[in-house]
């Protein structure tokens, strides 16, 4: 999984750079259109765009991860989703589903305080780590760390004989 994550991140990084270069040249040719193009309306949209554009690349990257964590947290609150959540969003070496929970449990939190603390810490160092690695490599590190830590959890559970489901990375 880790090799695939970093390989995909390298391809994504290359394609992203290629796209940015193409966009730069297209924008240079289309600057004259901005003068005749009508301006978009909507104060709320402008505020959201202003907020988004003021974020660092790291904060924009982590915003997606936080949104995924909040979405999964909300799914835990739906009684009809409990069975699916226990099957795919908790890691348990005695479960029928072994591989997908290794990744999906990374986004799973049952306690609001636990999730809020984790997301605050992730937000706080996101700018520096993404500027160092790039957003693509950061996502590969994040996902790989989740899968590897779940694997270590599986090994520890097998060694101790305690087959209890757990959440998170």
Note whether residue 97 is domain-resident: no
Domain that holds residue 71: 57-85
Listed ranges 23-27, 34-38, 116-120; the one with the highest mean pLDDT:
116-120
Those residues whose C-beta lies under 8 Å from the C-beta of residue 166, and which sit 6 or more positions away, are: 90, 91, 92, 105, 153
Same domain, 61 and 29: no
Task: Report pLDDT digits (tens) over 44-77.
Answer: 777 888 888 888 888 899 999 999 999 999 999 9
Rounded distance between C-alpha atoms, residue 68 and residue 85, angstroms? 14
Closest CA to 161 of 93, 88, 95: 93
CA atoms within 13 A on the CB side of 79: 0
For the record, the structure tokens of 25 come out as 């040249």
Same domain, 63 and 31: no
How many structural domains are present in the chain?
3
Same domain, 32 and 61: no
Same domain, 32 and 64: no
pLDDT at 35 over 60: no
Note whether residue 74 is domain-resident: yes
Contact present, 166 and 114 (Cβ < 8 Å): no
Rounded distance between C-alpha atoms, residue 93 and residue 102, angstroms? 10
- Per-residue pLDDT at 39: 59
Same domain, 123 and 155: yes
E strand or H helix that includes residue 19: helix 2-36
Note whether residue 3 is domain-resident: yes
Rounded distance between C-alpha atoms, residue 167 and residue 152, angstroms? 13
CB atoms within 10 A of CB 123: 15
Average pLDDT value for residue range 17-43: 68
Same domain, 31 and 68: no
pLDDT at 114 over 80: yes
């Amino acid at each position: 999984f880790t090799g695939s994550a970093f390989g995909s991140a390298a391809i994504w990084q290359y394609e992203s750079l290629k796209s940015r270069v193409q966009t730069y040249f297209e924008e240079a040719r289309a600057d004259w259109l901005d003068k005749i193009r009508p301006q978009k309306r909507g104060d709320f949209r402008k505020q959201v765009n202003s907020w988004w554009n003021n974020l660092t690349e790291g904060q924009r990257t982590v915003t997606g991860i936080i949104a995924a964590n909040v979405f999964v947290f909300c799914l835990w609150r739906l009684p009809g989703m409990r069975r699916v959540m226990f099957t795919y969003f908790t890691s348990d070496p005695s479960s029928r589903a072994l591989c997908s929970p290794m990744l999906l449990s990374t986004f799973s939190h049952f306690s609001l305080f636990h999730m809020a603390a984790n997301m605050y810490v992730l937000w706080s160092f996101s700018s520096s780590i993404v500027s160092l690695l790039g957003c693509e490599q950061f996502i590969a590190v994040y996902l790989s760390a989740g899968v590897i830590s779940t694997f270590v959890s599986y090994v520890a559970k097998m060694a101790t004989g305690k087959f209890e489901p757990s959440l998170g990375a």
